Structure 1
């Protein structure tokens, strides 16, 4: 059932018997590059999810809920609309960082079903989810800023560091722009499962249904746990500024 049909995103309830289960389908042209409008519509979709959660009765709320994001085709997301980001500066970056912080601390479990390449801003969007399932036969997940000559601002670096705990994998990700195929990403702990394309959404739904009860009651419990779990990351996403290496200005 379609819950909301916006120009660049579609919010779906895939199971009428489970009204707190949602799929956020990304459809910003073929690459799902993040623009201000795309970010705005994702935030609108998250608003709608929360409104729907608040409207459930006690019995329905006791089942918890979950949110999956995915797309179709070659790309999950090919990152930011770079030219717009460079031209618009803070008015572009700040809403994007706020979106990452909101998703990182969302009140129900979240699963990224990565259908294709997830580069740069798309990689960070996937990292903002609690769990990641990736198509096994095709696609890379990578932070390629070093190759396109763009330094990372504080919040962006923070979310990558929060999700890649191994120092060498973090080094390879950020300093070489290493493109992790699904098997590499699984070994590095960047994703949780690698599955055939035709099993991708089913596997994400399996995760979602299993994890949904952790949000039983649909209170702010998980939101607050995640906020403390990622405290430093959230602080940098929301108030870390947009100047790379700004803390080094006096060196």
Structure 2
């Protein structure tokens, strides 16, 4: 379901296997949380996380087939609500991780899969294949509060937010870059990952203190972090620069 490896200062979390849609069911959500816990425990000054995925999809969102397999409509809704609750701590983990984070989006990222990508500090995307897509309007589902807060926090233009949330636009990489959702786009999946590695190496070379980095991130997104239950705090690391 995932692999986690460390090369120098960079952790690589790769979603793998299954039907390659990497749908976020309770099992995959738990696996991602476990990987992020391991990354946090092993982090050192200058660590960086790169998250990517194998195959055609980065993540196609919540596992609606698993929800529907419950049988009744009520039971299916309960399962969706369960996934919404389980996924919230994953977003909180990423928003509080003590290191820079980069999503290398090498395939489609829809709904919760798009939120997973946006939970990173930097989003890089391939331009030859794949879209970003918040599908909730099309499937008849409102946005969880932390989804809405993420989009308010990370999509600066009101018009862009309208197109993403109230028009359910499927965004190719160039459109997502123009909207400020994606930082940069590349010709292929391999080029996207290579660019993420270059960025990761640049960030790692700064040797920032992870606790300071994570607290500054939280202070940038007060509404989102409030909904996620992440309180910010003042951190002062003694150094020769003070």
TM-score (structure 2 length as normaliser): 0.85
RMSD between aligned alpha carbons?
1.7
Kindly tell me the number of residue pairs found equivalent between the two proteins.
219
Is residue 2:140 matched to residue 1:158?
no
Contact between 2:62 and 2:83, CA under 8 Å: does it hold in 1?
Answer: no
| Aligned partners of 1:74 and 1:117 also within 8 Å | yes
- Comparing 187-196 with 81-90, greater Cα deviation is found at 81-90
- Residue number in structure 2 paired with 1:67: 49
Number of the residue aligned with 1:4: none
Is the 1:109–1:215 Cα contact (8 Å) retained in structure 2? no
Shift of 1:89: 5.1
3-state SS in 2 of match to 1:151: coil
1:23 is aligned to 2:23: no
Report the alpha carbon displacement of residue 46 of structure 1 after superposing the two structures with TM: 1.1
Q: Distance in 1 between matches of 2:126 and 2:47?
A: 24
* Distance of 2:136 and 2:81 partners within structure 1: 18
What is the CA-CA distance between 1:212 and the residue it aligns to?
2.1
Query: Separation in 2 of the partners of 1:36 and 1:28?
Result: 16
Displacement after TM superposition at 1:214 (Å): 4.8
CA, structure 1 residues 234+28, in 2 after alignment: closer, same or farther (shift >3 Å)?
A: farther
What residue number does 1:102 align with? 93
Rounded to whole Å, the distance in 1 between the matches of 2:52 and 2:80 is 27
Gaps of 5+ in 1: 1-7, 55-60, 240-251
> Runs of at least 4 residues of structure 1 off by over 3 A?
none
**Equivalent residue number for residue 141 of structure 1:** 132
Question: What is the CA deviation profile of residues 139-190 of structure 1, one whole-angstrom value per residue up to 9, with x for unaligned ones?
Answer: 1001111001111121111111111110101000000100110110111111
CA shift, 1:215, in A, is: 5.1
Which one of 6, 10, 18 corresponds to residue 3 of structure 2?
10
After TM superposition, the structure 1 stretch with the greater mean CA deviation from structure 2, 83-92 or 139-148, is: 83-92
Structure-2 residue corresponding to 1:58: none
CA distance in 2, matches of 1:53, 1:35: 27
Q: 1-side partners of 2:207 and 2:43: how far apart?
A: 11
Paired with 2:219 and 2:32, the residues of 1 have a C-alpha distance of 24
8 Å CA contact retained: 2:60, 2:110? yes
1:105·1:222 contact (CA, 8 Å) conserved in 2?
Answer: no
Q: Equivalents in 2 of 1:48, 1:216: separation in Å?
A: 19
Matched, 1:237 2:219: no
Per the normalisation by structure 1, the TM-score is 0.82
Q: Which runs of 5+ in 2 are unaligned?
A: 68-75, 231-242
Change in CA separation of 1:76 and 1:169 when aligned onto 2, cut-off 3 Å: same
